[in-house]
Structure 1
Amino acid sequence: MRTVADGFFDWRELSRRAAAEGWAKFSPKQQDDFVTAFSELLQKTYIRKLEKYNNEKVTYLKEQIEADKAFINTQVTMKDKAIPINYIMIKHDKWMVYDVVVEGVSLVKNYRTQFAKILSREAPDALIQRIKDKIKSLDEGKNVDDVAG
Structure 2
Amino acid sequence: MKSIIALIIMLVMPSVALAAQGPTDRVKLGVSDIISIASDSALSVEQKKQSLSDVIEKHVDIQASAQRVLGKYWREASDSEKRQFMVLLKGVLVDTYIVLLEKYDNETVAYTGETIKKKVYATVDTDIHTKDNIIPVSYQLYQRNDEWKIYDFVAEGLSMIRTFSKDYQSTLKKSGVSGLNEALAAKLAQK
Could you tell me the TM-score, scaled by structure 2's length? Answer: 0.68
Q: Paired residues, what number?
A: 138
Instruction: Report what 2:72 is aligned to.
Output: 21
Counterparts of 1:1-149 in structure 2 under 5 Å?
1=51, 2-66=53-117, 67-93=119-145, 94-137=147-190, 139=191
1:124 aligned counterpart, secondary structure: helix
1:60 aligned counterpart, secondary structure: strand
**Which stretch of structure 1 is more off in the superposition, 43-52 or 114-123?**
43-52
| TM-superposed deviation, 1:47 | 4.2
Higher Rg of the two aligned structures: 2
CA distance 1:57–1:45, shift in 2 (3 Å):
same
Q: Contact 2:73–2:176 (CA<8 Å) still a contact in 1?
A: no
Say which structure is richer in helix.
2
Could you tell me which amino acid in structure 2 is paired with residue 87 of structure 1?
Y
Q: Contact 1:41–1:134 (CA<8 Å) still a contact in 2?
A: no
Could you tell me which amino acid in structure 2 is paired with residue 75 of structure 1?
D
Could you tell me the TM-score, scaled by structure 1's length? Answer: 0.86
5+ long unaligned stretches in structure 2:
1-50
- Structure 2 distance, partners of 1:47, 1:16, is 23
2:71 aligned counterpart, secondary structure: helix
- Structure 2 distance, partners of 1:59, 1:101, is 15
| TM-superposed deviation, 1:48 | 4.0
CA-based RMSD of the aligned residues comes to 1.3
Q: Contact 2:56–2:90 (CA<8 Å) still a contact in 1?
A: no
1:54 aligned counterpart, secondary structure: coil
2:59 aligned counterpart, secondary structure: coil
